[in-house]
Structure 1
Amino acid sequence: MTKIVDHDQRRLLIAEATLRIIRQMGMKGATVRNIAQESGLSLGALRHYFSTQDELLNFSMRLVKERATVRINELVSIDMPLFQKVLRILLELLPTDDNKLAEMEVWFAFTAHYRSSGTTYDAQHDGVQDLVERLLHSLKESGLLRPELDYTLETERLYAFIDGIALHALLDTKRVDYERIVNVVTYHMKSICTEESFLLER
């Protein structure tokens, strides 16, 4: 009897093998041969799904982004005070558990690879800047952002702050642990929001 292959599941299996290889060996180790071995497939079978290495890497990169997007969309749909929701969404962008740390490691590896490969690189491809702008806009429109602040500068500062925390957590996981990430981000958000916004949590 002919075995039915779920091609979408097979692509996902290959992409997850790619992410494991990148985390273990870096982008230099993400060869078609290594990925095929990690996924338990022959080179020919792997090339049936991804004809080039770039095609495979792009698919794997999108997988990381899509997983983060799903988690954020789930938070958006939950009924909770706006300050708490914004805070939790921002924390989804940061390595606050082992799975997100793994995703962050491969995302930085992808970013460094594309910046150095000579291909066109869009600094906004991860969607973080756009998300930060929308979150602060929601706080401002709801009257929860401190009115004396420069909205444009605060948006840029929060974007840089989130990227900086992510990088520090990646480079020094012992010092910038999960608890510290939560505490620092919470402290920053309370410093730019009205007192009423986070008192509503109680």
Structure 2
Amino acid sequence: MKQLSIEKNPNNIEGLIVIKPRVFLDERGYFCETYNKSVMYNLGVNIDFVQDNESLSTKGVLRGLHFQKKFSQAKLVRVIQGSVFDVAVDIRSGSPTYGKYFGIELTSENHFQLYIPKGFAHGFVALSDEAIFSYKCTDFYHPEDEGGLLWNDEEIAIDWPISIIDEIIVSEKDKKHPTFKEFKEGDFKFF
């Protein structure tokens, strides 16, 4: 019995994987498998997750675009409650899709997950009144190692679905991230 369906390399961005688990519904509610190490291994993802994180965001909260420099993290992300538009930007120097992004709506109803390998900036915007976002990481968070890109950078040109949102709420820290041009011109080489 097939437990999930997989879309590898969406938008031709190598390494990204959209996971659509099989959801078993009945009068009691639902059940689905949210992680299986052997399935990931069969997809070519041989990693160990060391930290799980969860955030609650209200509608319009935009978090990102974040990454860690030396302690790069691969992530498996999903939404437990509500909905978000989730984005991964390829910042692997030398990658044929360097500077390209993939966006997907993750909801508590569709149960989709996105696997994001090392070498990506990541962010999301909450589309529902409240969204609980969960992610597994392959390295620990190191605050001194944080990096970021400006969420509304013109060169990356992310098509955020913000027309349905009254107000975008971005932290002061996220407002100060460099543009993609500034990132490329810096001495920081990612991967």
TM-score under structure 2 length normalisation:
0.26
Higher helix share: 1
- Greater length-normalized contact order (CA 8 Å, ≥ 6 residues apart): 2
